Amino acid sequence: MSWAMPVDPRRPLADRLRPHCLDAFVGQAHLLAPGKPLRVAIERGQPHSMVLWGPPGVGKTTLAELLAGASQAAFIRLSAVMAGVRELRAAVEQAQALWREQQRRTVLFVDEVHRFNKAQQDAFLPYVENGALIFIGATTENPSFALNNALLSRVRVYVLQALESAAVDQVVERALHDSEQGLAGRWSLTDEARSRLAQAADGDARRALIWLELATELAEARAMSLDQALAAVMSDGGGRRFDRGGDLFYDQISDHLETL
């Protein structure tokens, strides 16, 4: 079953191509293979409070939306960059009203949840505890350090992995040929260009789709091939993600040592 949204060309390509069913989701087989707890929760429409920890562009928001859609729950999205306790309380009031009036549950998705301070994180606790809402937090930071113990004890933490190049290429393939949300076969890339794009995206499907969309706009404006446009777009930025102090730093050191 899927929960597809109407086509809106104003939405970025990466958002238009967001999967609305498990079969279209790419990557994270360690969490979504048949019989895995997270897959079972989605298939049965039985979401639970959780934290999704992983690098950008690997499907955290999509998994939250899949959980909400499978359970026919309302979906409220907040960003910890901009929201605070007031927005949280408003979301709780909305969730409680929806339950009273329709007996419908609510998934509250908080992106960048590690940006909330301890007091703001504590504000979730009573509502997660009493089931007033299903809390799903997304973070790129290690929850053991970024989130307080009281919140962690009430949720399950799932670790998402950076996508392999083959998975990123699969997403690009869909973008090029999707007749409804993608580029509908109007553009093509050589195998060499697709390989470069998948490698340069460094496990981030969103990054690959942003570059691809920018390249199509440039190619159309300058009457050039998509390969040429993509090379120009990627020359302005790219490379591996790097954080000097976090877990990613040590992962990258390990990758480097393995090549020596």
Predicted local confidence at residue 158, as pLDDT: 94
CB atoms within 10 A of CB 7: 9
DSSP 135: E
Which two three-digit tokens encode residue 145? 């350090």
Residue 40 in contact with residue 33, Cβ under 8 Å? Answer: no
Residue 51 in contact with residue 143, Cβ under 8 Å? Answer: yes
Predicted local confidence at residue 172, as pLDDT: 92
In the block, tokens 């999704």 appear at 52
Angle (deg, nearest 10), helices 37-44 and 60-70: 40
**What does pLDDT average to in each consecutive run of 10 residues of the chain (260 residues)?**
49 84 89 91 88 93 90 88 82 87 89 87 82 88 90 91 93 84 78 92 92 90 89 70 45 38
Predicted local confidence at residue 20, as pLDDT: 83
Rg (the chain; Cα; Å):
20
Predicted local confidence at residue 131, as pLDDT: 76
15 SS3 class: helix
Domains of the chain: 28-159 (3.40.50.300), 165-235 (1.10.8)
User: Distance between CA 137 and CA 113 in Å, rounded?
Assistant: 6
195 SS3 class: helix
Predicted local confidence at residue 200, as pLDDT: 92
